Amino acid sequence: MASFGWGVFVVCLFFFKTKSVTAFWLNGQELLSSSKTVNARLIYCLFLFKFYFPSYMCTSKSCVHFSLANEMKKNDKIMCMLERQQKNYIRNINKAISEFQKNFQKPETRREFDLSDPEALKKDRPARLSDNDPQCTVSGLQKFMGEDLNYNQRMKFQKEQLREWSLQQQRDWKNALADQKFADDLYDKNRIELDQKIMEQQRREEENRRAVCAATKDFNRAQAAELAERRKLEKDQKMKDDMDEISSLLQGDLLSENPEQAVSSFGRHRVIPDRWKGMNRDQLMAIRYFQQQQVLEKLRLKEEEHRRDAEWDRQSIQAARAQLVLERHQQRQSRERRRALDNVNAELSHEQKANIMHSLIQPVDDVLHKST
């Protein structure tokens, strides 16, 4: 309460001293920055609030006490939060220091760790490693005549080496058998594949010929249908043109004139286009007859082409069969020549053996003959 009274006194003194709102505000800011008590700051804030908002200030002392109590509670909460933050900050710093010591300041990284290492005897080098250890000096009495510490290891190594040799021989034998079997299977497979390829080639040639014939037939049908459709359209168009021309002639002045007036002066085979009334029945019949002759000629050419294709296919098949028969005949001749050569070799072998036996027996007969 004494601090609260002093705060009220200071605020009043500043207010009456300045005599103006601006000076009072500036002096109040200096007071806030220099004062270290919470009550003086609160009183100054209350006076400012009362000065600027006089209608919102309570006139009773209980209202002032209530607002001060709320402000003190808020300040206590803020102090508790700041204290909690400071504790958390200190705890994080201690945790970081512990982690750093654990990761980068381990006991085994110290210079004097080898003096107090509990695993020093386990890490130490033994007095003798083998018979050829350079540390085994004469004065060390670690090696004597007749000792053979590597006997068990040497015998174990020899047994392992013998076992490896035996396994290697078995693997080589199995690999040789497998290679022989693979070679035989490959030979049989190649023969079968060759026969299958020949049959497949013949089948493909036959299918290709059939496909070519079918495609040619379809193409011809499509061409014939297209030609017929085009002729039909041309005929319809021509009929339409004729009808238009007839209608125009019916409505014109040339209907009653002589058709001979359309004949050109350059010959009867030529006409004047603007006077010509069209072809007569004989001319149309001649054109149709010529068209029929063209159709028959085209059919005859197609039939000849089909006959040539069939003859070519037959000759190709006969050539393939002749080639196959020739190959078989050559194989048969090669087998017969090989068989004859084997027989000649066998006869020569028998003659050579007989000559050798005769050359061996002849000296013995001579010796026996001389002795008799």
More confident position, 175 or 37: 175
3-state secondary structure 268-304: EEEECCCCCCCCCHHHHHHHHHHHHHHHHHHHHHHHH
- At residue 58, the pLDDT reads 44
CA distances from 85 to 38, 135, 164, 191 (A): 21, 65, 73, 91
Helix axes 38-52 and 61-104, enclosed angle (nearest 10): 130
Mean pLDDT of the residues in the chain: 78
The predicted-structure confidence for 227-240, as pLDDT tens digits, reads as follows 999 999 999 999 99
pLDDT band at 294 (very low <50, low <70, confident <90, very high): very high
Mean pLDDT of 63-71: 86
Helix axes 21-34 and 38-52, enclosed angle (nearest 10): 160
Give this prediction's pTM: 0.23
More confident position, 59 or 168: 168
The predicted-structure confidence for 72-87, as pLDDT tens digits, reads as follows 889 999 999 999 999 9
| Contact between 125 and 132 (Cβ < 8 Å) | no
pLDDT at 348 over 70: yes
- At residue 152, the pLDDT reads 81
Q: Is 176 exposed, middle or buried (0-12, 13-18, 19+ CB in 10 A)?
A: exposed
> Worst-scoring range by mean pLDDT, 34-48, 158-172, 234-248, 267-281?
34-48
- The pairs formed by 20-28 with CB atoms below 8 angstroms and a separation of 24 or more are 21/51, 24/51
Q: Which residues of 238-253 are buried (b: 16+ CB within 10 A; e: fewer)?
A: eeeeeeeeeeeeeeee
pLDDT at 126 over 70: yes
> Worst-scoring range by mean pLDDT, 88-92, 139-143, 336-340?
139-143
> Worst-scoring range by mean pLDDT, 145-149, 193-197, 310-314?
145-149
pLDDT at 268 over 90: no
pLDDT band at 297 (very low <50, low <70, confident <90, very high): very high
- At residue 296, the pLDDT reads 93
Q: On the CB side of 29, how many CA atoms lie within 13 Å of its CA?
A: 5
CA distances from 48 to 15, 24, 64, 116 (A): 10, 9, 14, 72
Residues 6+ apart with CB under 8 A from 114: 120
pLDDT at 242 over 90: no
> Residue 144 and residue 131: Cα distance in Å, rounded?
10
pLDDT band at 35 (very low <50, low <70, confident <90, very high): very low
- At residue 31, the pLDDT reads 45
pLDDT at 343 over 60: yes
Domain segments of the chain: what residues?
A: 2-87, 167-278
pLDDT band at 121 (very low <50, low <70, confident <90, very high): confident
3-state secondary structure 248-271: HHHHCCCCCCCHHHHEECCEEEEE
> Residue 221 and residue 236: Cα distance in Å, rounded?
22
pLDDT at 7 over 70: no
Element (H, E) at 245: helix 151-251
pLDDT at 224 over 50: yes
pLDDT at 4 over 70: no
CA distances from 107 to 98, 100, 101, 120 (A): 14, 13, 9, 14
| Contact between 7 and 40 (Cβ < 8 Å) | yes
pLDDT band at 14 (very low <50, low <70, confident <90, very high): very low
CA distances from 42 to 7, 69, 71 (A): 9, 11, 8
Length of the chain: 372
E-state strands within 160-243: none
Helix axes 2-18 and 38-52, enclosed angle (nearest 10): 50
* Number of neighbours of residue 7 by Cβ within 10 angstroms: 22
pLDDT at 1 over 70: no
Mean pLDDT of 150-174: 89
> Worst-scoring range by mean pLDDT, 40-54, 94-108, 246-260, 276-290?
40-54
